Structure 1
Amino acid sequence: MDAIAGLNHWLDQIALRLEPGQRRELMRRLAQGLRIRHRDRIKQQRDPDGYRFIPRKRNQIGRIKRQGALFQNIGKQLKTEYSPDHAAVGFGGRTALVAKVHQDGENIKPNKYAKATQYSIRKLVGFSKDDENWIQSEIQNFLFRQY
């Protein structure tokens, strides 16, 4: 969190020098770029640190209940939100609930008739060092184009 706090402080200093329209454009670019980076990483079955997702559990026979990769289409449902003061990337609706369960590794009942299941932690969204470097380079490129 120290790196994120430092990045926020750095962004605050830059934001003071930009007009609201310029800040909104910068936040839009950052949010959309991060959405694409998160979507691609989820499609590759990787967490922000670059590790592979923990695979699905097997049933009593030893087979995986659903074939294929986890979260095949969830990356398409990433949402962005931005204004002159902030940028956010995340999920909405039912997808947000599913993502939160996997992000935190919660113990929930998949439906009202099933027994509670412990889900493995699979970080879907988050910042890596590569993301922080990308953000810094995007801001620098934006500032060089503006001035």
Structure 2
Amino acid sequence: MSELQALEKWAGGLLAQLSPAARRSAMRDVARELRRSQQARIAAQRNPDESAFAPRKARAAKGKKLREKKGRIKRAAMFAKLRTARFLDIESDAMGLAVGFAGRVSRVARVHQYGLKDRVAPHGVEYKYPARALLGFTDTDRDLIRDMLLRHVMKHNT
């Protein structure tokens, strides 16, 4: 039994005790917190297993200096726009929830999630990107889901 199926089986029993409106509310709250957790983890450049993302490949300077000071490469964190709420969507209803990327950025996210080949620029060279798991459950996320669902069940059963 996969990890998600076990979680679904456990949570399904708890959520069955709630009314559809209460289930919808619980799912919405859990989805929001999961998105926050995923955003923070992506900002920290960490995979779900807490290992660091594979570093970017060094590129040759083309008219611009990558190194302004000795030993320093000026670069911003990867996926800064991708992790915003605009692109990292949540969907929830009484039956479940989903956290994922929306629109055109979903292709970029999929390439990095699974380590696929893609063009670096339009009509540019192809490059096999290293896998950087943008979405996934950490142990903290599992605890968060459990605690939030228990809180909702306790609140609505009293």
Q: Could you say whether these structures have the same fold, taking a TM-score greater than 0.5 normalized by the shorter chain as the test? A: yes
**1:34 corresponds to which residue?**
34
Q: Does 1:87 align with 2:87?
A: no
CA apart distance, 1:51? 1.1
CA apart distance, 1:2? 2.9
User: 3-state DSSP class of the match of 1:71?
Assistant: coil
Structure 2 gap segments, 5+ residues each: 68-72
CA apart distance, 1:112? 3.9
User: 3-state DSSP class of the match of 2:104?
Assistant: helix
Tell me which of 109, 118, 132 is aligned to 1:108.
118
User: 3-state DSSP class of the match of 2:91?
Assistant: strand
User: 3-state DSSP class of the match of 1:81?
Assistant: strand
**2:7 corresponds to which residue?**
7
Which range is displaced more, 14-23 or 34-43?
14-23
Q: Does 1:98 align with 2:88?
A: no
Q: Does 1:75 align with 2:83?
A: yes
Q: Give the aligned residue type for 1:67.
A: R
TM-score by length of 1: 0.91
**2:70 corresponds to which residue?**
none
Structure 1 residues 35-91: Cα deviation after superposition (integer angstroms, max 9, x where no partner): 000011111111111111111101246x58972111122211211000100100011
Query: Highest CA radius of gyration, 1 or 2?
Result: 2
Q: How far apart in 1 are the matches of 2:122 and 2:38?
A: 32
Q: Structure 1's 119 and 75: CA in aligned 2 closer, same or farther, altered over 3 A?
A: same
Which has the bigger relative contact order, CA under 8 A and spacing at least 6?
2
Q: Structure 1's 66 and 103: CA in aligned 2 closer, same or farther, altered over 3 A?
A: farther
User: 3-state DSSP class of the match of 1:59?
Assistant: coil
Deviation beyond 6 Å, 4+ runs, structure 1: none
Structure 1 residues 107-145: Cα deviation after superposition (integer angstroms, max 9, x where no partner): 112344212111010000011122111110111111111
Which range is displaced more, 3-12 or 79-88?
3-12
Q: How far apart in 1 are the matches of 2:58 and 2:3?
A: 38
**1:47 corresponds to which residue?**
47
TM-score by length of 2: 0.85
Q: Does 1:119 align with 2:129?
A: yes
Structure 1 gap segments, 5+ residues each: none
